[in-house]
Chains A and B, each alone.
Chain A
Amino acid sequence: MGNVSCPIRLQTKTEVYMRPGYLGDLESFIDSSKFEYLEPNSLQEACSILARYKEKARVIAGGTELIPLIQQGKARPDCLINLKSIPNLQFVETYSDFGEEGIKIGSGTTLFDLGRSAIINEKAAVLAEAINQREFRLNRSRWAYYMATIGGCLFSPERAADIAPALMVLNAKAVRQGIQGWETMSMQDLFTADSEGGVYEILGEIRIPKQQESEVGLAYEKGPATGDGSSIGVAVFLRLDLKHVDVEEIRIVVGGIGNAPIESREGPAIMTGNPIDDHLIIDAADMAAEEVCGASDAEIIEKTRELIEEAIRHAIDRSIGDFALGY
């Protein structure tokens, strides 16, 4: 190696560069957070390590959520398993398996790469929209966007708000690897699977089935954070009949209210089979907001209502294009 400087300094740097006490919290971090750091070469290997250490191990991807938790002493793993060492965990590709087509995304793909992926922007634009709106609001932590992975995002506490609603309206599936093998599950199941405990599986990829291209509108809207709470994100899928008059199918998924995104049943129930109409949109947004917000305060219900209404209108615009003016 040219120009190699070799600063292997085995004495502690407190003696050399730091005034004692000046970086007290840094020193206590060094002392308190002792963990073994492992770099597996495959997901199977990572799962075996996880099965061996069980709850004493944590997998790390971008680290934007986990490192601060370790620094604050809120997570104290004995073993850290770096998923970034696994080859082929960062990809966005189209697939065609057993007659099903779509896009697959490796769990180690960064939000930065996803937001700029031509495949995502062309075939799953609502996901790019969710990522970009998250980034816009999150520019305070622009760094997170560069490091953060889609896998880490789906396992962080704020997961419910940002990316998940968009994945849910796209009917995305999560593919998890355990020591026994692969398991494919819906996004809803991914959010509830771990609550039973004792499951040491790692998200390997996300599969988004090919979307019908005509008469369909997908939209994502995000509001600002409410006080200490996370911000609310709404994703809508809408399919109109061929005459662009009646709503054939609509899905409304709201994130940021609870631990997992919530899909409204009542809003879609009053819209499905009916002609699009301004009052219908407002009534559906009202009902969906009341339903998903439950006992939340009036301000949150109102914000959610506004976002749902906006997302429905955008979805209509997108499914009918210019004809939608007025909605």
Chain B
Amino acid sequence: MDSTKKVIKLKVNGEAYEVAIKPRMTLLQLLRNELGLTGTKQACMDNSCGACTVIVDKMAVKSCSILAMQVNGKEITSVEGLASKDGKLSPLQESFLEHSAFQCGFCTPGKLMSSTAMLEEMPDPTEEDVRRDMEGNLCRCTGYVQYLEAIMDVVGKRKEAAK
């Protein structure tokens, strides 16, 4: 092995990995280039667009700005890990489809990851909470109405189901 490489262990979408990487590799590079998980998108690379958002130990983080070394031993969920093993989409994925919450879809993986982490932490957000919490995920084509409706729909359905 290249002596400048280091071995890290991590779980991605429930699978355990042991990967030899160069220390300068970002988490985004690891996911896309080493693990072939290209659902996570690369866009601005300066932390402002949110396209690269993944969940690290339940927290939504921007993978372009984290070194892969920093997630050694951690659990990562990327957009590929949202659907169940048999391919059933998550409620948020379903809702994004139902509400046509995307056009080109480039921002969608990031938006799904941010909203998934948000609903974990804050199960009953208001529209204002969602708008504020999702500000770090930019969209160049659809605008910011449909995804809000999609998320609030999931919140509403959860409340109904809990009654």
Contacts and interface: CB of A to CB of B under 8 A. Distances in A.
Contacts, number: 118
B17 A30 contact: no
A140 to B, nearest CB: 5
Give the size range of A's interface with the partner: 35 or more
A143 B45 contact: no
A25 interface: yes
Given A23-B42, A63-B66, A67-B67, A17 B18 contact: no
B74 to A, nearest CB: 11
Given A8-B1, A17-B38, A143-B65, A3 B46 contact: no
Contacts of A71: 26, 45-46, 64-65
A182 interface: no
B98 interface: no
A6 to B, nearest CB: 6
B59 interface: yes
A193 to B, nearest CB: 27
B136 A140 contact: yes
A72 B70 contact: no
A1 interface: yes
A79 B24 CA distance: 10
A294 interface: no
B23 A80 contact: yes
A7 B70 contact: no
A26 B61 contact: no
A147 interface: yes
Contacts of A26: 29, 42, 45
B89 interface: no
Contacts of A4: 16-18
Interface of A: 1-10, 13, 16-18, 23, 25-26, 29-30, 33-37, 60, 63-64, 67-68, 70-72, 80, 82, 84, 112, 136, 139-144, 146-147
15 contacts: A1-B18, A3-B15, A5-B17, A8-B18, A8-B20, A13-B32, A26-B45, A33-B24, A37-B23, A71-B46, A80-B23, A82-B69, A140-B135, A140-B136, A141-B48
Q: Which 10 A-B pairs have the closest CB atoms?
A: A37-B23, A13-B33, A146-B59, A143-B61, A8-B20, A143-B62, A140-B136, A67-B65, A140-B135, A1-B16
